[in-house]
Structure 1
Amino acid sequence: MVGKGSPKLNMIARASPKLLRFLGTTSGIKKKASPKCSKAKKTGGSPRVVKQRADWNPALEKSLVDILHEYKDSGYRGDNGWTPEGWNKMVKEFHLRNKYVNYTKSQIQDKEGQLKKDYRMLKEARRQSGATWNEDRHMVEGSPSMWDNLEITFPKIRKFRNSKARFPLFDALGELYDGHLAEGTYNLTSLEPPQEEAPLRTNS
């Protein structure tokens, strides 16, 4: 055993600089490791939690459509849609009525665009031969072959083949969009009145 202040320990310390260097580096490693770990944990995923996912339900969709109806004749809407100022007012009104959600303007605009496309797809589905509209269930009913043909033009319409896929906003959206839909992907020649072709078939 060698005491703390013994001359023998002093001699070992003076004679072994490599040992002292080794002891110094190991203690330094321990001091450097802890701050890095703590910073990684603090800055890890905090910014990602800020954005709220836009989970829509029928009540929120109806609230949005109600607001769109209220603003459709307010001067904030043109042939190409609502003005930026109109959107700002509608988004503010939406949050006043639905205080438990905090969607961004773009999330609400995306939902409006989705509802417009869904309405247009179902409007076309109702025009198909053999299709019927179930007023009680608010959904299109038809044969599997009818749905197969529709999916060629509207791949996303398959979600409405589900027996639970109701769309109670169809009439409200019809009042909102008919006459205000621009030419685009969902405009088909089949939307023209079929009576125009009738005289051609009777001449024989």
Structure 2
Amino acid sequence: MAAPRASWDHAYEKGLVDIMLDHNNPIYRGQNGWTAEGWTRITNTLNQKFPLAHFTKQQIQEKDKDLKGNYKVVRDSRKQSGTGWDDTLCIIIAEPIIWDKLIKDNLRVKKFRSKPFMLFKSLATLHEGVFPVSCISVDPTY
């Protein structure tokens, strides 16, 4: 029998992404994703941070897949002609006719018409290697 579906809220999602960013290095991440040790460390760290959650590795992997899918749909939608992005509110800005086209092209973007995607920058760092200025090392050998 599969584990019950995990109940994720924004604090859990942000906690997961923050922990993944902390573990985003060659020790825990291989060419094709997280190593087995990486997943174990991420799972243990998340459950220590949120002791009432009791997430399984599978639930965390499913949430990671879901967040990555949301990230990709918002990233791709932002690239479409006629769209903008509000960095403060973390929302796509577009006229209704553009939104209609975005939703027609990918139904998954619909929820972001009225809901911010606060994890966009963190997920960009995680999945694209885009680092905020504060994370860039001044040592060129790093």
TM-score normalised by length of structure 2: 0.82
Q: Unpaired segments of 5 or more residues in structure 2?
A: 130-142
| Alignment of structure 1 residues 10-49 onto 2, 5 Å | none
Secondary structure (helix, strand or coil) at the match of 1:113 reads: helix
Which structure is higher in RCO with an 8 Å CA cutoff and minimum separation 6? 2
Amino acid paired to 2:44? K
In structure 2, which of residues 84, 90, 96 is the aligned counterpart of residue 144 of structure 1?
96
1:52, distance to aligned residue in structure 2 (A): 4.5
- Equivalent residue number for residue 132 of structure 2: none
Give 1:171's aligned amino acid. K
Partner SS state of residue 72, structure 1: coil
* Structure 2 residue aligned with 1:103: 55
Count residues in correspondence: 130
Q: For residue 110 of structure 1, what is the amino acid of its counterpart?
A: E
Check if 1:66 corresponds to 2:18.
yes
8 Å Cα contact 1:52/1:102 also seen in 2 = no
| Post-superposition CA distance 1:58-94 (Å, at most 9, x none) | 1111100011011111422122110122101110111
Structure of greater Rg:
1
Task: Give the share of equivalent positions with the same residue, in percent.
Answer: 37
Point out 4+ residue stretches in structure 1 off by more than 3 angstroms.
none
CA-atom RMSD in angstroms: 2.1
Match of 1:173 among 110, 123, 138: 123
**Alignment partner of 1:121 is 2:52:** no
CA distance in 1, matches of 2:45, 2:17: 12
